[in-house]
Amino acid sequence: MKTDETIKPANVPIVIPSYEPDDRLIALLNDFDSREMGPVIIVNDGSDGKYDPIFKEAESIITKRGGKLISYHPNRGKGRALKTAFSYIIENMPEATGCVTADSDGQHTPDCINSIIDAFRASPDSLILGVRQFKKEDIPWKSWFGNTITIKVFSYVAGMRINDTQSGLRGISREFMKELIDCKGERFEFETRMLLECAGKYNLIEVPIKTVYESKENHQTHFKPVRDSLRIYWILLQKFFKFIFASLSSFVLDILLYHLFSIGLANLFAASASSISDISEVVFTATVCARVISAVYNYLINYKFVFKSRASRGSSLIKYALLAVIQMSISAGLVSLIAFIFHLETTTFVKAVVDTLLFFLSYTIQQKIVFRASRLTENKTKQGNR
């Protein structure tokens, strides 16, 4: 692994996707220039022609330190702009070990960007995330609302706590950039997909940064709270829907196998089908055979398809089997206890409620314990820079 001494700041270009910027972009670039920071890769994401003077001035500043302005039309979204910059770096900057992405609206100060570069130089194989400190009274409501809700949803679905899922200030390794070029997502949702792709592959290091806005009234953002949040939530929910599909398909497989096994075994015991012991043996054997096969299927589809786990198959299989036994025991125990306390004659509804709650709990446990490769998915927090 490369160390702090072997990675020069110039080997970590700064990527700035920009759509219809104002003078804050020029001020940021002048600050970079005075600090000898760079090179800077700016992507003009289909801005209107009236913004050409700003981009021309920006180009004159960044080219002095090996930077590049990339322009195209029409607007394609922040995700596409980032992937365009990643492709340029990989194809034209062989010395670059990675990059740091930043926004063009003044939210990310040179000091904060430098802190991300320093963190990346210290841990070049990790995803470095600049984390803002969210206080409702200090930031625009659109940013506070979008981040607060998304953090909670992301924490449950992705199985890891991230304190700023929408931060655009990130340090990304060259290898991860290569993977992200083919990652789905063209707009703001791409940054959420990046975090999901990170899980199980790269360590995530959070670096506290300043929260900078000019004012709640004057702050402008191209993030649309409803439309873009729905896109982000859909990405997150897709993973949970995969879990639901895995569970439902396992249930269907279990019933189908039970039907086939029970018919086959019943034929073997046809001569004494009236015997209660033989009937019980058929039901028990068919149930066990079907459940074992459907459980193995459910384990494999969760391992490969739902959680895309890199955990040891042996340890994850043991954890999965133990979870299944515990879950069945808790279900039976809770249903029996509730039926006893409330003197219920039928327990079907109670069991449905209990098993539904256990289903959601099981998702969290499988995400965080059963299929988690603990070494890779540690979420480390770098202290300081507050």
Residue 105: which pLDDT band, with cuts at 50, 70 and 90? confident
Q: Which of 186, 209, 238 is the last residue of a domain?
A: 238
Q: In this structure, are 287 and 215 located in the same domain?
A: no
Residue 186: which pLDDT band, with cuts at 50, 70 and 90? confident
pLDDT at residue 278, rounded to an integer: 65
Q: Is the pLDDT of residue 243 over 70?
A: yes
208 contacts 384 by C-beta, under 8 angstroms: yes
pLDDT tens digits, residue range 270-290?
A: 655 555 666 677 778 888 888
Q: Which domain holds residue 70?
A: 9-238
Q: Is the pLDDT of residue 141 over 80?
A: no
Q: Which of 238, 270, 296 is the last residue of a domain?
A: 238
Q: Is the pLDDT of residue 49 over 80?
A: yes
Q: Is the pLDDT of residue 62 over 80?
A: yes
CA distance 79 to 186: 4
Residue 172: which pLDDT band, with cuts at 50, 70 and 90? very high
Q: In this structure, are 222 and 325 located in the same domain?
A: no
Q: In this structure, are 319 and 258 located in the same domain?
A: yes
Question: How many domains does the structure of the chain reveal?
Answer: 2
Indicate which CATH number applies to the domain containing 225: 3.90.550.10
pLDDT top residue among 268 and 294: 294
pLDDT at residue 22, rounded to an integer: 92
Q: Is the pLDDT of residue 87 over 60?
A: yes
pLDDT at residue 129, rounded to an integer: 97
Q: In this structure, are 192 and 275 located in the same domain?
A: no
pLDDT at residue 1, rounded to an integer: 43
Give domain status of residue 2, yes or no. no
Provide mean pLDDT across the span 89-118. Answer: 94
pLDDT at residue 314, rounded to an integer: 93
Q: Which of 180, 206, 238 is the last residue of a domain?
A: 238
- Burial-class residue 57 by CB neighbours within 10 Å (0-12, 13-18, 19+): middle
Bridge partners (DSSP) of residue 136 are none
Give domain status of residue 382, yes or no. no
- Give the 3-state DSSP-derived string for the chain, with helices as H, strands as E and coil as C: CCCCCCCCHHHCCEEEEECCCCHHHHHHHHHHHHCCCCCEEEEEECCCHHHHHHHHHHHHHHHHHCCEEEEECCCCCHHHHHHHHHHHHHHHCCCCCEEEECCCCCCCCHHHHHHHHHHHHHCCCCEEEEEECCCCCCCCHHHHHHHHHHHHHHHHHHCCCCCCCCCCCEEEEHHHHHHHHCCCCCCCHHHHHHHHHHCCCCCEEEEEECCCCCCCCCCCCCCCHHHHHHHHHHHHHHHHHHHHHHHHHHHHHHHHHHHHHHHHHHHHCHHHCCCHHHHHHHHHHHHHHHHHHHHHHHHHHHHHHHCCCCCCHHHHHHHHHHHHHHHHHHHHHHHHHHHHHCCCCCCHHHHHHHHHHHHHHHHHHHHHHHCCCCCCCCEEECCCCC
pLDDT tens digits, residue range 320-361?
A: 999 999 998 999 899 899 989 998 888 888 888 998 899 999
Give domain status of residue 45, yes or no. yes
Q: In this structure, are 330 and 193 located in the same domain?
A: no
Give domain status of residue 375, yes or no. no
Give domain status of residue 384, yes or no. no
Q: Is the pLDDT of residue 153 over 90?
A: no
Q: In this structure, are 246 and 263 located in the same domain?
A: yes
372 contacts 154 by C-beta, under 8 angstroms: no
Q: In this structure, are 65 and 162 located in the same domain?
A: yes
Provide mean pLDDT across the span 130-144. Answer: 70
Q: In this structure, are 269 and 206 located in the same domain?
A: no
Q: Indicate the range of 13-22, 60-69, 159-168 predicted with least confidence.
A: 159-168
Residue 80: which pLDDT band, with cuts at 50, 70 and 90? very high
Q: Is the pLDDT of residue 115 over 90?
A: yes
Provide mean pLDDT across the span 216-222. Answer: 49
Q: In this structure, are 218 and 318 located in the same domain?
A: no
Q: In this structure, are 113 and 226 located in the same domain?
A: yes
Residues 6+ apart with CB under 8 A from 179: 197, 201
pLDDT cut 90: percent of the chain above it: 51
pLDDT at residue 122, rounded to an integer: 93
Q: In this structure, are 21 and 153 located in the same domain?
A: yes
Q: Is the pLDDT of residue 207 over 90?
A: yes
Give domain status of residue 378, yes or no. no
pLDDT at residue 148, rounded to an integer: 73
Give domain status of residue 381, yes or no. no
Q: In this structure, are 231 and 271 located in the same domain?
A: no
Give domain status of residue 257, yes or no. yes
Residue 245: which pLDDT band, with cuts at 50, 70 and 90? very high
pLDDT cut 70: percent of the chain above it: 82
* Mean residue pLDDT across the chain: 84
